[in-house]
Structure 1
Amino acid sequence: MGPLIPYDIIPFEWSSIIAIIIGLCFGFILEASGFSSSRKLAGVFYGYDFAVFKVFFTAAIVSLIGLLYMDYLGHIDISMLYIHPTYLWGAIIGGAIMGIGFIAGGFCPGTSLSAVAIGKIDAIINVLGIMVGVFIFSELYPLFEPIYNGYFYGNITLEDSLGINPYWFVFILTIVAIIMFAVTDMIRKRVKKVFY
Structure 2
Amino acid sequence: MGPLIPNGIIGGGWDFVIAILLGVAFGFILEASGFSSSRNITGVFYGYNFVVLRVFFTALIVAMVGLMYFDYFGWLDLSKIFILPTYVTPMIFGGVVMGLGFILGGFCPGTSFTAIAIGKLDALLFTIGLYIGIFIFSLGYPLIEGFYNSGNLGNVTLTDVTGIPAAWFALVFTVVALAAFWGTMIIEKRVRKNMKEYKF
TM-score exceeds 0.5:
yes
Q: Is the 8 A contact 1:84 1:155 kept in 2?
A: yes
Q: 1:48 is paired with a residue of what secondary structure?
A: coil
Counterparts of 1:178-189 in structure 2, within 5 Å, are 178-189=178-189
Q: CA deviation at 1:100?
A: 0.3
Q: Percent identity?
A: 54
Counterparts of 1:111-190 in structure 2, within 5 Å, are 111-190=111-190
- In structure 2, the partner of 1:90 is 90
- Mean alpha-carbon deviation: is it higher for 66-75 or for 81-90? 81-90
Q: Deviations over 1:8-61 (max 9, x none)?
A: 6x6654443233223212212211322100001110111101111101111011
Q: Which amino acid aligns with 1:137?
A: F
Counterparts of 1:1-196 in structure 2, within 5 Å, are 3=3, 13-196=13-196
RMSD over equivalenced CA pairs, Å: 1.8
Separation in 1 of the partners of 2:175 and 2:54? 13
Separation in 2 of the partners of 1:38 and 1:53? 14
Q: CA deviation at 1:157?
A: 1.4
Q: 1:57 is paired with a residue of what secondary structure?
A: helix
Q: Is the 8 A contact 1:4 1:75 kept in 2?
A: no
Q: Is the 8 A contact 2:3 2:80 kept in 1?
A: no
Q: Which amino acid aligns with 2:85?
A: P
Separation in 2 of the partners of 1:124 and 1:76? 39
**Structure 1, gaps ≥5 residues long:** none
Separation in 2 of the partners of 1:171 and 1:32? 28
**Structure 2, gaps ≥5 residues long:** none
Q: Is the 8 A contact 1:112 1:123 kept in 2?
A: yes
Cα 1:72–1:100, aligned 2, differ >3 Å: closer, same or farther? same
Separation in 1 of the partners of 2:58 and 2:166? 17
TM-score computed with the length of structure 2 as normaliser = 0.90
Q: 1:35 is paired with a residue of what secondary structure?
A: coil
Q: Is the 8 A contact 1:43 1:49 kept in 2?
A: yes
Q: 1:76 is paired with a residue of what secondary structure?
A: coil
- Mean alpha-carbon deviation: is it higher for 26-35 or for 70-79? 26-35
Q: Give aligned pairs, total.
A: 194
